[in-house]
Amino acid sequence: MKYIGKDSVSKLEVDHGSDGQRIDNLLMRLLKGVPKSHVYRILRSGEVRLNSRRVTPSTKVVVGDILRIPPVRTSQRPETRELPRFNLPILFEDEAVLAIDKPAGVAVHGGSGVSGGVIETLRLTRSDQDFLELVHRLDKETSGVLLLAKSRPALLSLHQQIRDGGTEKFYQAVVHGTDFVDKSIRHPLRKFVNKAGERKVVVDGTGQDALTVVRKLEVGPKTTLVEAELKTGRTHQIRVHLAHEHFPIIGDEKYGDFYLNRKFAKMDVKRMLLHAVSFTFSHPKTKKRVTIRSDTPREFGATVKMNGVEN
């Protein structure tokens, strides 16, 4: 389902890929380059019609609905603008899902001073693809498995699995300290924005329940390689839980030990050592269990073996 007309009224039939979507979100996807404020203006004014009737932004479309879109002059900038180019190795792809190996230091989407991220780059390079959405997110500093949906039914299926606990997500991290004991870390997490406008997360009894299961994999002279399974998917969950347990992730500039990070940086550890190693889910179409894996970066093992960093 694609919007083509700019200077004349367009009438589109809702397909299976858009079934159940809110009309404001559908218009945002169809009218690339049109300001959000203008999309809501044409909705409020009644210029957008669904089956010849006025609609509210929250109206959900169904297969077979006829959507009337007024003439809208779209900006050409989203199609021609230069976005940062990233190497995005493909780990898995079929007609429903796409999994990439996201590099550290690359945002999953633009915003907050970032001109463009993974999703914008993929949409630009795959301009013939009608639907492409993030299934979940990874922090900019985190590398590893990132899953995207290539149809709305696939997206809805995967989101439902995440809500129901039907997916499995494992990470590996290098933490400071050598006396780590396997544990289930259960601390509620609360998000807030500090005076500098920075989004942060803290352990707080008023926050949302969060559970991370962590076990050690390899112990070095000063650090430990651990595996963390996310049982809940809160913002910065692994980073905050490990820091709260006094095992900060090496290179974590927001929750880690700044003094130690500087020492490791001098030894050429230039990133946060957190990597999404696997994502397991039931395929949206075949229902078979699928596990996508990404190899642990070499610098993780090299950092664990380092012996020149003092406490």
The token duo for 104 is 């550290």
pLDDT given for residue 82 in this prediction: 57
Catalytic residue numbers, as ranges: 139
Residue 113 lies in a domain: yes
pLDDT given for residue 4 in this prediction: 52
Q: Which domain holds residue 32?
A: 10-69
Q: Does residue 201 sit in the same domain as residue 300?
A: yes
Number of domains in the chain: 3
pLDDT given for residue 78 in this prediction: 44
Residue 113 binned pLDDT confidence (cut-offs 50, 70, 90): low
pLDDT given for residue 102 in this prediction: 97
Q: Which residue has the higher pLDDT, 34 or 245?
A: 245
% of the chain with per-residue pLDDT over 70: 90
Which CATH number does the domain housing residue 36 bear? 3.10.290.10
Half-sphere exposure of 122 (CA within 13 A, CB side): 26
Give 258-296 pLDDT, tens digit per residue: 999 999 999 999 999 999 999 999 999 999 999 999 999
For tokens 């030990």, the residue is 257
Residue 128 binned pLDDT confidence (cut-offs 50, 70, 90): confident
Residue 242 lies in a domain: yes
Residue 84 lies in a domain: yes
pLDDT given for residue 76 in this prediction: 47
Q: Does residue 177 sit in the same domain as residue 146?
A: no
Locate the DSSP E strands across the chain. 10-13, 49-50, 53-54, 66-69, 90-93, 97-102, 133-134, 143-149, 168-176, 183-186, 189-193, 199-203, 211-219, 223-230, 274-282, 289-293
Q: Which residue has the higher pLDDT, 301 or 84?
A: 301
Q: Domain end: 152, 181, 204, which one?
A: 152
Residue 147 to residue 136: CA distance in whole angstroms = 7
Give 44-102 pLDDT, tens digit per residue: 999 999 999 999 988 988 888 999 999 886 554 444 455 566 789 999 999 999 999 99
